């Protein structure tokens, strides 16, 4: 299949339909966010050109197109259904990434499956911000067959993994395994709600609670 499908309802989109100064914005909003539910960021906005033909069939949509280089991101706000999508670049190299892992694909290749490991135990604990109820510091712990993953939110400018916690819990999966591990406050957030030192302390406290929650869930308590 190398072109639009005869007999199907078709809609054609092109940046050529917009003035040059409006092409990137229009393509991102009209096509990216409204049609394919992807946040499109051109690698080079200058001279950006893209076009696509969408064919609608019962229960299925097929799109053919060509584009200059861009980065497409599926954000949480753009997930509006549980549709399954497949994408292939028949004449170009491209890459797909998720949760920090990236796969490079050659022309004509596509991703047909994503496998997620099953956790043996998992738990989450947070200290809520008293005003917003969001996590002042939150820690998620997951135990897999090949090790432990620990993710921390709220303490820094973004989510990060606690490598020292992961190593200790891989050896002994219980709260006391991380009780004495120091958390470096440098790089953590300080604001009106809590300073960096207090957030560092909370990382350990919430980490211990998350491990306890994971053990309880594994035992079905």
Provide the residue-wise pLDDT of the chain in tens; the chain has 221 residues.
455 556 667 778 888 888 888 888 887 787 777 777 777 788 887 888 888 887 777 777 777 778 888 777 766 666 655 555 666 667 667 666 665 666 777 777 766 666 777 899 999 999 998 888 889 999 999 999 999 999 999 999 889 999 999 999 999 999 999 999 999 999 999 999 999 999 999 999 999 999 999 999 888 64
Which part of the chain has CATH 3.30.390.50?
121-218
Query: Whole-model pTM?
Result: 0.56
Q: Are 165 and 181 contacting, i.e. CB atoms less than 8 angstroms apart?
A: yes
Q: Are 142 and 214 contacting, i.e. CB atoms less than 8 angstroms apart?
A: yes
Burial 58-82 (b: 16+ CB within 10 A, else e): eeeeebbeebeebeeeeeeeeeeee
Pairing of the two strands 135-144 and 121-128: antiparallel
Helix (H) or strand (E) segment spanning residue 60: strand 60-67
* Class at the top of the CATH hierarchy for domain 121-218: alpha beta
* HSE of 125, CA atoms in CB hemisphere, 13 A: 19
């Amino acid at each position: 299949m190398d072109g639009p499908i005869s007999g199907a309802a078709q809609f054609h989109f092109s940046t050529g339909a917009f003035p040059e100064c409006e092409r990137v914005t229009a393509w991102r909003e009209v096509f990216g966010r409204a049609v394919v539910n992807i946040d499109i960021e051109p690698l080079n906005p200058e001279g950006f050109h893209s076009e696509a033909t969408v064919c609608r069939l019962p229960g299925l949509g097929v799109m053919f197109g060509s584009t200059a280089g861009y980065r497409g991101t599926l954000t949480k706000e753009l997930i509006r259904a549980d549709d399954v999508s497949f994408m292939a670049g028949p004449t170009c190299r491209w890459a797909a990434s998720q949760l920090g892992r990236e796969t490079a694909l050659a022309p004509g290749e596509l991703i047909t499956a994503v496998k997620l490991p099953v956790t043996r135990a998992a738990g989450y604990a947070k200290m809520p911000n008293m005003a917003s109820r969001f996590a002042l510091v939150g820690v998620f712990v997951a135990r897999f067959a090949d090790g432990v993953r620990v993710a921390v939110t709220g303490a820094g400018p973004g989510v990060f993994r606690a490598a020292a916690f992961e190593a200790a819990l891989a050896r002994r999966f219980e709260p006391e395994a991380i009780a004495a591990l120091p958390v470096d406050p440098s790089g953590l957030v300080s604001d009106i709600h809590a300073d960096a030192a207090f957030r560092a302390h909370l990382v350990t406290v919430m980490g211990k609670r998350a491990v306890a929650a994971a053990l309880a869930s594994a035992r079905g308590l």
